[in-house]
Structure 1
Amino acid sequence: MADRDAAGAVHAAAAKAGDRAPGADGSAAGSRILPVGDRAILIELPDLPAVLATAAAIRSLALPGVIDVVPAARTVLVRCANRASARSAARAAQRIGVRDEPPVSGGREVRIDVVYDGADLRAVGELTGLGVAGVISAHTGTPWRAAFGGFAPGFVYLSGGAPRLDVPRLDSPRTAVPAGSVALAGGFSAVYPAESPGGWRLLGRTARRMWDERRDPPALIAPGDAVRFRAVREAITVRDPAPGRSGERDAAPPGAAVLGTLTVLDPGLLTLVQDAGRPGHAAVGVTASGALDRGALRRANLAVGNPPDAAGLESLNGGLVLRAERAVRAAVWVTRATVENAEGAPLHPVEPGTAVSLAPGECIRLATPESGLRGYLAVHGGIAAPRTLGSAASDTLSGLGPPPLRRGDSLAVGATPGPDPGALSSLPGDSDPEPGPRSSPGDPESELGTAAAPRPGPEPGPPRDAAEPPRPAGPAVLRFVPGPREDWFTPEARAAFAAQCWTVTPRSDRVGLRLDGPPLARARAEELPSEGVVRGSVQVPPDGRPVLFLADHPVTGGYPVIGTVIDADLDRAAQLRPGEPLRFAPVDPDRPGAIPQAQQPISAERVAFSLELDGRRTQLAVSGAVAAALQQLLDSPDEGPLREALAAILRGCGPVG
C-alpha cells in the first residue's frame, strides 16, 4: 500500500513536469522549424550563409541539453538530450530568426598539395568549358572555406570556390573512391578521408590525412578553416588512414590498471566493444555510435557495480565464449549464459542481471537470445580498450574504435570504480547514454552514407525494466514523429507508411534496419540537399523502401526522412530480428503516450537503488512502474517534481534488508 501511494505521488509529479511547453510552431520569414523525432529540430534556411550564421548563433547561446549543432547545405540540425531541451532550442531558433551575417572566422589556413590526374578531370573541363588547365587554375586560384562536416569523420564540405566549378554529381556513384581523392559536386569541393562509395567528380589526389585519431584534433580541416589547393607534379602515395583499424589490438589503453584478463575462445557471429558512445562530434562527421540497446548495457554494468556507461561487449545472436585468466565478476542482459569449466563442461547457468564470479580457467558462454538479437556482457571494472574522442565504442560505419573480437584476442579489464551511490543514475531505467560484417563509409549522399558544441554528459534514453522483452504476438510497434520531410511523399504514401506492416530484412545492421514492403511513392522528384539525420530517422531511398537509422548512422543524408522514431522505442528497434514484422505509429512528440502493448517490456517486481542522505547510504526498492515514472522526472528541467517524488519514495518505500 505504501508503495502504491509512492507510485501515485511519483506519477502525479511526472504529469506536472510533463505539461506542454511552447513548441516549434512559428518561425521567421524565409525559414521553417521542423520536428525531428522528440529530441531534435531541423531549421530550414534560404541559403548557406544563413545556415552558417544561424548555426554560429545557436552555438554561441550554449543552450543546456544541446548535444550537436549540425549545419548542412540549407539546414541546421539541433540534437538535444531530451524533449525539454528540444523545445528550448526551437524557441531559441524562433528568436534568432534568419541570420545572414557571416560568422566570425577564427579558423586556420590549410594548404593541400594535389596531383591533378583524377578520373573525371577531363569531363569536368568539358562540362564547365574550362578545359583541364582551366579547371586546375580555378580550383587552386580561389580559397575555399570549410562550411560543415559530412557523412564520415574528416569529410568536410568546402564552399566559396569559383562559381564555374559548380558541376552535378555522377549519375551512377562509384562503389569505391580511394582515400585522398579530391572531388567536386554541387558547388562544393571535398577530400575523401577514407575509401568509400561516392558520386562526386574526381579531380586528383592528395597524401594529406584528413582524419588521424592520433592527432589533436583528429580532423585536419575544421568548419571555419580556409583551404587552399596547390597543384604538384611529383608522385603522391595516398595512404588510407583506416581510422581505428590498426592490425594489432592493444591489451589496454595506456595507463589503465588491469584487474583481470579475458581470452576470446569464440567471438560468435559478431562481438563488439561498446559503451555510451561519443556524442557531441557530429559537426566533424562523427556519429555517437555506442550500444544499440542502451538499457541492456546499462543494466549489465549496474549488475556488476560499474558506472552505467562503462565499456562492455555487444554480441550478435549469442555464441560468444570467453575464458577468465584471472578472477572476474560478470553479468549478462537480454541473453542467458552458462559458466563452464576448463574442459567445457557446464557448471551452472547465468540468468540475465545476475552477477557471477569466474575463477581462473573458467569460461562463460552466451546463449542465443530467446527474444531479441543482441546480448550484452559486462565485467566488473569494464573492458579496458583504447578510446577515440573519449569512447571505446566500435563504430561499424566510420571504422572508429576497436575492431570486432577475434578468436585468441586478449581483453583487459580496467579498474573502473563502481557507481556513485548518491546518483540517481544507479536506478535501472533512468537516463541512458547515446547507440554483419564491418562496412565502409557510405556515399555522402546515400542513406548509409561548425565548431562542435561542448561535449555533453550521458544522454537520456528509454526506461527498460526487464532482461528480455517478450516477443510480441503481432508486429512490433514503433512510435514516430512525422517528418521532417513527409511532404516529399504522396498522401497515399504517408498513409501507407503508418498503415502497412514492414519486414526487417537480412541486410540490416548497426547502421540501420532495412525494411521490405510496398514502396513509398514520392510527390517530389528533385534532389534533396544533404542534411543532418539522427538515430531513429527513417530515410526513404529511390527504391521506396525505408531504412530506419540506428547507432552507427551517417551524420548527414541526401534522401528524404518521412518520419523519426522517438528515442524511447529505439532500444526495442535494435533487438528486431531479420524476418520480424513491425509497424509505425504516428505520435505527438509532446504526448507520445504509453509504449504500445505489443512491445511492453516485462516489469521487474522490485527495482533496488541507493541514495546518499546526510553522508549515509540508504538502500531502497521501488516497483518497475515507479522507476519508469522517475525517468520522466529526470528528463524535466524543473527539479521541484523530482524532489516531491523522492520525498514520497522515502516516506512510502521500505529499505531493502
Structure 2
Amino acid sequence: MRVLPMGDRAVLVEVDGLGEVLALHKRLAASRPAGVVDLVPAARTVLVRVDGAALSVTAARAWIEGAAADWSTPRDAAPTPDGTLELGVRYDGPDLADTAALLGLTPGQLIAQHAAAEWTVAFTGFAPGFGYLVSPGWTHEVPRLDTPRTRVPRGAVGLAAGFTGAYPRETPGGWRLIATTDARLFDPDAVAPASPVLLAPGTRVRFRPMPSGSRETATGRREGAHPGPGGAGAIRIVEPGLLSTIQDLGRPGRAALGIAPSGALDRRALRAANRLVGNAEGAAGVEVTMGGFRAIAERDAWFAVTGAWGPVLLDGLPVDPYEARAWPRGAELRIDGFVHGARAYLALRGGADAALSAGSRSTDLLAGLGPAALRAGDLLAIGGGAVVPIPVAEVWPWEPPHDGELEIELARGAREDWFTASAHDLLFAHRWTVSAHADRVGLRLDGPELARVTARELPSEGMVPGALQVPPSGRPTILLADGPVTGGYPVIAVVTDAALDDLAQLRPGSRIRFRHARR
C-alpha cells in the first residue's frame, strides 16, 4: 500500500488491484472519522478527501495507516446490501455480434455468460450513477472502440476491459454496447435515505434477459423532468449573457456516487454576497459569466453583486459592488460586460430558489444536474433563506480581480513521479496562458509539453478540483468544480484549496505562474 499526495486536502491510497481496493474501502468506511468528505474507490486506488478545518491530511494519513495495519488480503470483500439487484436488459446492443466474434463466441454464448455472472459494483465514475461492475465469473478483457461514439443513449449496457456498466444518461462513450435497460439508474430527486444511484458501490447485480421490444421500469424510481427554478417567480430574466447559472456551495461528499462537488467557482465571492444581504453563506445565487446579464424584479427585493467587476446599473443608475441595495418592483438590473475577472455573483435576500437536485441547487454543466442555465424569459423565485437582517454598516473590503500575471500555489500530485525533472522545472518556470477551452469543467493551459518518464496507461482513479491532469499532448488541464470525479490522466500537481477561488476569475488569455505551496 502506498499513500500518495493529492493536493493539500486529499491523498490517494494505491494498492495492487481491485480486490484490495474493495477490501481497503470497506475498512476505511467502517472507521471513517469526522472530517473525511469523500472515499472514492477506483481500479487500484481509494481517494480520501478531507475537510481541512476538521481533519488535517497528516491526521488522515495516520488514520489510513492504522485502519490498514492488520489488513493484508482482500478476504473481506466490499460491503454489499442484502440481496441482489436484478436488472432487466434486452440484449439488442449494436456491438453485440462484433464483440462476440472478437471474443471467439457466438452472440448467444456472450449473452449467456453475461447473464450468468454475478456482478458487483466496484466503483463509480465517468458520470453520476455510472457503475463499474466486476465479476469473478467474467474472464474476458474487451477492448474499447477505436473511435468513441459521440452519443451513447441512456440505458445502454456496455463492456470495456474487464468491466460491464450501464449509461445513466446520454453521453459520449467508447464502451462496446451489447444491451439496453429501462431502469432509472440515476435519480437526482431521490429523498434520503434513498440513494440517487441505483448501482452504488458494493451493490450485487444480476442481468435478467428480457424479450426484444419489452419495457420495464425499476421499482421505486421516479421519472421526472429536469428540475428548474421553483416557487413563485420574483425575478424575470431578460438576458442571461454568455452564461448564467444558479450556484450554491455544491454537493460535497458524493464523489463515490460519481457526483462532482459543483457549486460556485469563486466561493469567497458567493459567501460575501450572501452575507451582505443577510443570507446564510451557502444560499444559492446567480453566477454570471463575463457579464451581459439583465433582469427585472417582479416584486420588491434586495441584492448584492460581488466577484468580477464591471458596470452594474439599476434602472440606468450605477450602483457599487459589495453593497446591499434595494431592488424595487419593475426596476431593471444590468450587469454589463466585465472589465476585471470572469464571474460575478448576484445574491438575492432569501436566496435564489430552485429545486434541489442531489442535495444542492447548483447547476452541474458536465453531468446535467440541477436547474438548466438561465434563459431569457425564465422566472427565478426568491426563497425564504434570509437568516439575519441586512447589516446596517457592513463594510466589505474589496478590489477588482487581479488582471496581471497571477501566481497560483501548487501542492504535490499523486503521479508527480511520472514526469521528468525538466517537466517539473517547466511547470514552475513557465508563464502559462489560459486557452479558449476554459469553462466550469476545467481550464486548459497553453505552454510547453510536460514530458513523462513513462508512457503506460493509468487506470481510472479519483480526482479533485484543482488537479492538473496531463494528457498525452503534455499540456495540463486544471479540473474545476464540474470536472469528472475519476480520470485516467496522471496528475502532476494540485492547486491548493485556497487558490481555487482565484481560478474562477481567469479568462482566456490570462497568464499564470505556479509556485510551490508553503508547507
After TM superposition, the score normalised by the length of structure 2 is 0.92
**Does the Cα contact within 8 Å between 2:310 and 2:340 map onto a contact in 1?**
no
Alignment of 1:239-638 (within 5 A): 246=225, 249-252=228-231, 261-334=234-307, 335-341=309-315, 346=316, 348-419=317-388, 466-472=398-404, 475-587=405-517, 591=519
Q: Whole-Å Cα distance in 2 between the matches of residues 419 and 37 of structure 1?
A: 36
1:45 and 2:15 aligned: yes
Q: Whole-Å Cα distance in 2 between the matches of residues 104 and 509 of structure 1?
A: 37
**Does the Cα contact within 8 Å between 1:75 and 1:531 map onto a contact in 2?**
yes
Give the match for residue 612 of structure 1.
Answer: none
**Aligned with 1:116: secondary structure?**
coil
Q: Whole-Å Cα distance in 1 between the matches of residues 269 and 479 of structure 2?
A: 19
Q: Whole-Å Cα distance in 2 between the matches of residues 186 and 578 of structure 1?
A: 37
Following TM superposition, by how much is the alpha carbon of 1:130 offset from its aligned partner in structure 2, in angstroms? Answer: 2.3
Q: Whole-Å Cα distance in 1 between the matches of residues 274 and 83 of structure 2?
A: 43
Q: Deviations over 1:23-58 (max 9, x none)?
A: xxxxxxxx1101111000100011112111211211
Q: Deviations over 1:202-254 (max 9, x none)?
A: 11211112112244422112211111112222215699xxx9993684442xx
**Aligned with 1:139: secondary structure?**
helix
Give the match for residue 178 of structure 1.
Answer: 153
1:94 and 2:81 aligned: no
Q: Deviations over 1:541-592 (max 9, x none)?
A: 122211100110111001111111100111101111101111222235xx1x
Q: Whole-Å Cα distance in 1 between the matches of residues 161 and 253 of structure 2?
A: 27
Give the match for residue 213 of structure 2.
Answer: 235
Alignment of 1:55-134 (within 5 A): 55-82=25-52, 84-97=55-68, 98-99=71-72, 100=74, 101-134=76-109
**Does the Cα contact within 8 Å between 1:535 and 1:553 map onto a contact in 2?**
yes
Q: Whole-Å Cα distance in 2 between the matches of residues 314 and 245 of structure 1?
A: 25
**Aligned with 2:437: secondary structure?**
coil
**Aligned with 1:514: secondary structure?**
strand
Higher helix share: 1
Quick one: structure 1 residues 420 and 37, their matched pair in 2 at CA, closer, same or farther if it must change by over 3 Å?
Answer: farther
**Aligned with 1:229: secondary structure?**
strand
Q: Whole-Å Cα distance in 2 between the matches of residues 244 and 37 of structure 1?
A: 39
Q: Whole-Å Cα distance in 1 between the matches of residues 34 and 56 of structure 2?
A: 7
Give the match for residue 11 of structure 1.
Answer: none
Q: Give 1:169's match in structure 2, choosing from 132, 144, 152.
A: 144
**Does the Cα contact within 8 Å between 2:226 and 2:370 map onto a contact in 1?**
no
Q: Whole-Å Cα distance in 2 between the matches of residues 251 and 314 of structure 1?
A: 17
Following TM superposition, by how much is the alpha carbon of 1:122 offset from its aligned partner in structure 2, in angstroms? Answer: 2.3
Amino acid at match of 2:473: D
Structure 2 gaps of 5+ residues are none
Amino acid at match of 1:126: A
**Aligned with 1:373: secondary structure?**
strand
Q: Whole-Å Cα distance in 2 between the matches of residues 237 and 398 of structure 1?
A: 25
**Does the Cα contact within 8 Å between 2:226 and 2:371 map onto a contact in 1?**
no
**Does the Cα contact within 8 Å between 1:165 and 1:184 map onto a contact in 2?**
no
Alignment root-mean-square deviation, CA: 2.3
Amino acid at match of 2:200: A
**Does the Cα contact within 8 Å between 1:153 and 1:219 map onto a contact in 2?**
yes
Amino acid at match of 2:198: L
Structure 1 gaps of 5+ residues are 1-30, 253-257, 422-426, 429-463, 592-657
Quick one: structure 1 residues 329 and 148, their matched pair in 2 at CA, closer, same or farther if it must change by over 3 Å?
Answer: same
Q: Whole-Å Cα distance in 2 between the matches of residues 586 and 186 of structure 1?
A: 38
Following TM superposition, by how much is the alpha carbon of 1:338 offset from its aligned partner in structure 2, in angstroms? Answer: 3.4
**Does the Cα contact within 8 Å between 2:278 and 2:389 map onto a contact in 1?**
no
Amino acid at match of 1:63: P
Q: Whole-Å Cα distance in 2 between the matches of residues 542 and 119 of structure 1?
A: 30
Identity %: 44
95-104 or 569-578, which deviates more:
95-104
Q: Give 2:197's match in structure 1, choosing from 208, 213, 219.
A: 219
Amino acid at match of 1:194: R
**Does the Cα contact within 8 Å between 2:94 and 2:178 map onto a contact in 1?**
yes
**Does the Cα contact within 8 Å between 2:247 and 2:362 map onto a contact in 1?**
yes
**Aligned with 2:261: secondary structure?**
coil
1:150 and 2:125 aligned: yes
Following TM superposition, by how much is the alpha carbon of 1:128 offset from its aligned partner in structure 2, in angstroms? Answer: 2.1
Q: Deviations over 1:442-465 (max 9, x none)?
A: xxxxxxxxxxxxxxxxxxxxxx95
Quick one: structure 1 residues 584 and 544, their matched pair in 2 at CA, closer, same or farther if it must change by over 3 Å?
Answer: same
Q: Whole-Å Cα distance in 2 between the matches of residues 247 and 402 of structure 1?
A: 7
Amino acid at match of 2:158: A
Give the match for residue 167 of structure 2.
Answer: 192
Q: Whole-Å Cα distance in 1 between the matches of residues 459 and 229 of structure 2?
A: 41
Q: Whole-Å Cα distance in 2 between the matches of residues 417 and 284 of structure 1?
A: 31
Q: Deviations over 1:370-409 (max 9, x none)?
A: 2110011001000111001221000001011000111111
**Does the Cα contact within 8 Å between 1:277 and 1:291 map onto a contact in 2?**
yes
Following TM superposition, by how much is the alpha carbon of 1:313 offset from its aligned partner in structure 2, in angstroms? Answer: 0.2
Q: Whole-Å Cα distance in 1 between the matches of residues 183 and 223 of structure 2?
A: 17
565-574 or 516-525, which deviates more:
516-525
State which structure, 1 or 2, has the greater radius of gyration over its C-alpha atoms.
1
Amino acid at match of 1:338: V
**Does the Cα contact within 8 Å between 2:291 and 2:337 map onto a contact in 1?**
yes
**Aligned with 2:417: secondary structure?**
helix
Quick one: structure 1 residues 248 and 57, their matched pair in 2 at CA, closer, same or farther if it must change by over 3 Å?
Answer: closer
**Does the Cα contact within 8 Å between 1:296 and 1:467 map onto a contact in 2?**
no
**Structure 1 residue runs of 4+, over 3 Å off?**
236-239, 243-251, 336-341
Q: Whole-Å Cα distance in 2 between the matches of residues 538 and 414 of structure 1?
A: 37
**Aligned with 1:525: secondary structure?**
coil
**Does the Cα contact within 8 Å between 2:157 and 2:165 map onto a contact in 1?**
yes
Q: Whole-Å Cα distance in 2 between the matches of residues 204 and 226 of structure 1?
A: 18
Quick one: structure 1 residues 76 and 498, their matched pair in 2 at CA, closer, same or farther if it must change by over 3 Å?
Answer: same
Q: Whole-Å Cα distance in 2 between the matches of residues 337 and 416 of structure 1?
A: 28
After TM superposition, the score normalised by the length of structure 1 is 0.73
Higher strand share: 2
Q: Whole-Å Cα distance in 1 between the matches of residues 153 and 216 of structure 2?
A: 8
Amino acid at match of 1:39: R
Amino acid at match of 2:205: V
Following TM superposition, by how much is the alpha carbon of 1:490 offset from its aligned partner in structure 2, in angstroms? Answer: 2.2
**Does the Cα contact within 8 Å between 1:337 and 1:364 map onto a contact in 2?**
no
**Aligned with 2:475: secondary structure?**
coil
Q: Whole-Å Cα distance in 2 between the matches of residues 580 and 238 of structure 1?
A: 51
Amino acid at match of 1:206: T
Quick one: structure 1 residues 248 and 224, their matched pair in 2 at CA, closer, same or farther if it must change by over 3 Å?
Answer: closer
**Aligned with 2:481: secondary structure?**
coil
